[in-house]
């Protein structure tokens, strides 16, 4: 059991993925950790998270509630602050770095802030592990499709974060640094589906940047599955990528609107936005292997060659993008229906439902 008796630190643990990760760890599916530390700089979100567990009490899973009481620790801190990171990693075995500035338009207007969190935060974690983290055996960074062939500030900083973690394996061989990279997460905070539902609730129009735009669609639990798989099966310097369905954003909007008389309005691509998501670039494709149902990009650094699998024939012949295999309208409708995202009330409760699964 991978987490059994381990001490786990989750930076940015009050975000959508972080909360689902915490709930899944507390379920004990990979063993009961000795301690699970949630570090973030937002005391309000930490308070809400703590209260949600307390109010749920014994109405939630008994194991989760007991582990919440016995193992979960909240810590105020910021990955931008080296002293905060050093303090948080003492005695830690596993670090999951989910702290990020991830809104594309925000990062376009405040790129220096994106650098501080997404790049310097990662560098602080690496430095802290090198200087004070003798117990840390694994660090995993949560990346994004936008780090692949980046065209916006958020993607550029996430691409650098990947390099910061992967290169750390060279000078810190006793710790395994690796990453996961995935696309749009259904109904996560700031994602498009809650926005569409708000627009529908207000009577429209529902705004689409371009009718041909496609996106990969994952649930929060699938995002956490990717992290769990990478932790259990990943090698130093690797990037794990889920194989996910993709849809036209127009079809997502139509499915959510249903038979309501609401206009769909095309507004044009926003600053830094891509027409489709790319998970693996043409340059990375020759280094991809399949493992545990995922695509895995092996590190190209020669110092990490001993960790690489031999690839006699490339698994991917070109980039892997959301334009490759797109669901039709019915497929998109069924995907949203399966995840209880077709009505406003379901979307409002989707995060809670994901957490309770």
CB 107 within 8 A of CB 157: yes
Which H or E element spans position 181?
A: strand 176-182
Question: Is the model's pLDDT at 160 over the cut of 60?
Answer: yes
Question: Which of the 8 DSSP states describes residue 117?
Answer: I
Nearest 5°: CA angle at 98, between 113 and 128? 80
Cα-based angle 205, 273, 208 (whole degrees, multiple of 5): 15
**Which class for 351: exposed (0-12), middle (13-18), buried (19 or more C-beta within 10 A)?**
middle
Whether residue 214 has pLDDT greater than 90: yes
pLDDT confidence of residue 352:
41
Taking the CA atoms of residue 177, residue 49, residue 79 and residue 304 in that order, the dihedral angle to the nearest 10 degrees is 10
**Of 314 and 353, which is predicted with more confidence?**
314
- What is the band of 190 on the pLDDT scale with cuts at 50, 70, 90? low
292 within a domain of the structure (yes/no): no
What pLDDT digit, counting tens, does each position of 85-129 carry? 999 999 999 999 999 999 888 999 999 999 999 999 999 999 999
Residue 328 is part of which domain span?
184-219+236-286+300-357
On whether residue 160 sits in a domain, the answer given is no
Please report whether residue 263 resides in a domain: yes
| Residues identified as active-site | 146
Please tell me what DSSP assigns to residue 93: S
Percent over 70 (pLDDT), the chain: 94
Q: How many domains does the chain contain in total?
A: 1
Is the residue at 10 inside a domain?
no
At residue 58, the pLDDT reads 60
**Which whole number is the average pLDDT over 166-170?**
98
Q: How confident is the model at residue 183 (pLDDT cuts 50, 70, 90)?
A: confident
197 found inside a domain: yes
CATH number at residue 279: 3.90.25.30
- Which residues make Cβ contacts (< 8 Å) with residue 312, sequence separation at least 6? none
pLDDT band at 356 (very low <50, low <70, confident <90, very high): very low
Least confident of 98-102, 159-163, 181-185: 181-185
- Whether residue 354 is contained in a domain is answered as yes
Q: How confident is the model at residue 59 (pLDDT cuts 50, 70, 90)?
A: low
Q: Are 168 and 175 in contact (CB under 8 A)?
A: yes
Instruction: Tell me the whole-structure pTM to 2 decimals.
Output: 0.91
Determine, yes or no, domain membership for 77.
no
The answer to the question of residue 38 being in a domain is: no
Confidence tier at 189 by pLDDT (50, 70, 90): low
Mean pLDDT score, 193-202: 89
- Average pLDDT over the chain reads 91
Question: DSSP alpha helices (H): ranges in the chain?
Answer: 16-26, 43-56, 62-71, 82-89, 104-109, 111-114, 121-132, 153-171, 192-201, 220-233, 249-257, 329-338, 344-356
CA 202, 101, 185, 17 torsion: positive or negative? negative
Residue 42's contacts (CB-CB under 8 Å, 6 or more residues apart) are: 14
């Amino acid at each position: 059991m991978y987490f059994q008796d381990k001490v786990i630190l989750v930076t940015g643990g009050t975000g959508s993925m972080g909360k689902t990760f915490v709930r899944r760890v507390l379920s004990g599916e990979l063993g009961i950790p000795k301690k699970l530390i949630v570090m973030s700089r937002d005391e309000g979100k930490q308070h809400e998270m703590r209260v949600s567990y307390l109010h749920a009490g014994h109405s939630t899973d008994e194991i989760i509630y007991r582990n919440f009481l016995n193992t979960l620790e909240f810590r105020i801190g910021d990955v931008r602050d080296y002293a905060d990171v050093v303090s948080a990693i003492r005695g830690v075995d596993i670090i999951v770095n989910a702290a990020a500035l991830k809104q594309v338009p925000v990062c376009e207007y405040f790129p220096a802030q994106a650098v501080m969190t997404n790049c310097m935060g990662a560098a602080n974690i690496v430095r802290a592990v090198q200087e004070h983290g003798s117990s840390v055996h694994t660090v995993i960074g949560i990346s994004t499709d936008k780090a692949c062939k980046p065209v916006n500030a958020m993607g550029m900083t996430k691409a650098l974060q990947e390099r910061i973690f992967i290169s750390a394996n060279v000078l810190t061989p006793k710790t395994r640094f690796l990453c996961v990279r995935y696309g749009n997460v259904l109904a996560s905070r700031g994602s498009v589906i809650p926005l569409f539902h708000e627009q529908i609730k207000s009577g429209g129009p529902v705004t689409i940047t371009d009718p041909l735009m496609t996106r990969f669609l994952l649930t929060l639990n699938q995002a956490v599955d990717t992290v769990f798989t990478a932790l259990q099966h990943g090698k130093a310097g690797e990037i794990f990528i889920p194989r996910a369905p993709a849809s036209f954003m127009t079809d997502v909007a139509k499915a959510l609107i249903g038979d309501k008389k609401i206009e769909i309005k095309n507004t044009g691509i926003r600053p830094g936005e891509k027409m489709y998501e790319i998970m693996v670039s043409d340059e990375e494709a020759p280094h991809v292997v399949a493992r545990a149902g995922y695509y895995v990009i092996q590190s190209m650094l020669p110092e990490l060659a001993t960790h690489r699998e031999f690839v006699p024939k490339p698994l991917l012949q070109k980039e892997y993008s959301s334009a490759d295999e797109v669901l039709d309208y019915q497929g998109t409708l069924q995907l949203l229906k399966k995840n209880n995202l077709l009505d406003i009330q379901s979307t409002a409760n989707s995060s809670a439902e994901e957490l309770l699964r």
